[in-house]
Amino acid sequence: MALILKTERLVLRSFDPAFYDSFVAMNKEEEVMKYFPAPLSKEESLQFIDRINNHYKDVGFSLYAVLLASNNTFLGFTGFMTPSFDAFFTPCIEIGWRFKKEYWGNGYATEAATACLKYAKEQLGLKEVFSFTSIHNKKSEAVMQKLGMQRQENFEHPKLDKTHWLCAHVLYVIQL
Ligand SMILES: CC(C)(COP(=O)(O)OP(=O)(O)OC[C@H]1O[C@@H](n2cnc3c(N)ncnc32)[C@H](O)[C@@H]1OP(=O)(O)O)[C@@H](O)C(=O)NCCC(=O)NCCS
């Protein structure tokens, strides 16, 4: 598993089977998945891991496992994906994050994402990164704001029915 980044408290690595059980458990947490249509089954999490690993193989970057540097505990993920839907801002690169509930409130998501954006600029040569979430997901939007991302116009997620409570999304962008 490749070491991607180190921060003061965290280590970011490419996904590895050692993290799969923790990843599956995180995606089953109701509160973690509150702003997604549903928690993920084990099968769905394993398919997601395939997407993460294939994205890494195809373009050289992806979502990364975020571990506590002091003891290698799996906390969650942060990193980049290519959205799989059409919208006025796609194709694009998206930065995203998801952490086990017990690790929220420590600044880990912002610390990991700050390092990812620096890496995107300096190592990956990306020029622009987007982020989006449900208009109700204030904790995720707060991370976007702490990263210095700029709010764009809201959009309706094309994979959700217009009447679904999660359809309306905020959109942020940062030029690197
Ligand atoms: C979105 C998510 C990653 C945010 O996690 P988070 O821990 O709130 O985010 P941060 O890393 O920025 O931490 C900020 C919090 O840590 C606190 N904190 C404690 N120590 C800190 C430190 N050393 N440095 C910075 N912040 C610190 C801050 O005060 C803040 O607390 P608050 O939420 O009570 O105001 C988390 O809620 C999550 O995983 N949600 C589920 C998945 C999800 O919705 N992902 C986004 C979908 S697009």
pLDDT digits (tens, 9 = 90+) for 100-139: 999 999 999 999 999 999 999 999 999 999 999 999 999 9
* pLDDT for the residue 103: 98
Atom 33, ligand 1: residue with shortest CA distance: 105
Per-residue pLDDT at 29: 98
pLDDT of 14 reads 95
pLDDT, tens digit, for every residue of 15-54? 999 999 999 999 999 999 999 999 999 999 999 999 999 9
Ligand 1 lined by 105 (C-beta under 6 Å): yes
Q: Rg for the chain (alpha carbons), in Å?
A: 15
What's the confidence (pLDDT) of residue 85?
A: 96
Residue 142 amino acid letter:
A
At 137-164, the pLDDT tens digits run 999 999 999 999 999 999 999 999 999 9
- Number of folded domains in the chain? 1
Q: State whether the Cα torsion 32-50-147-76 is positive or negative.
A: positive
Q: Say which CATH number the domain at 43 has.
A: 3.40.630.30
pLDDT in tens, 51-82: 999 999 999 999 999 999 999 999 999 999 99
- Whether 96 is in the pocket of ligand 1, judged by its Cβ within 6 Å, is yes
**Does 88 score more than 90 pLDDT?**
yes
Banded pLDDT at 171 (limits 50, 70, 90): very high
The CA distance from 89 to 154, in Å, is 11
- Closest by CA to 77, choosing from 55, 99, 94, 57, is 99
pLDDT for res 115: 98
Range of the domain at 123: 3-175
169 CB near ligand 1 (under 6 Å): no
Q: What's the pLDDT score for residue 45?
A: 98
pLDDT at 142: 98
pLDDT of residue 1 exceeding 90, the answer is: no
In the numeric block, which tokens belong to residue 115? Answer: 């390092």
* DSSP H stretches of helix in the chain: 20-26, 42-59, 108-119, 138-146
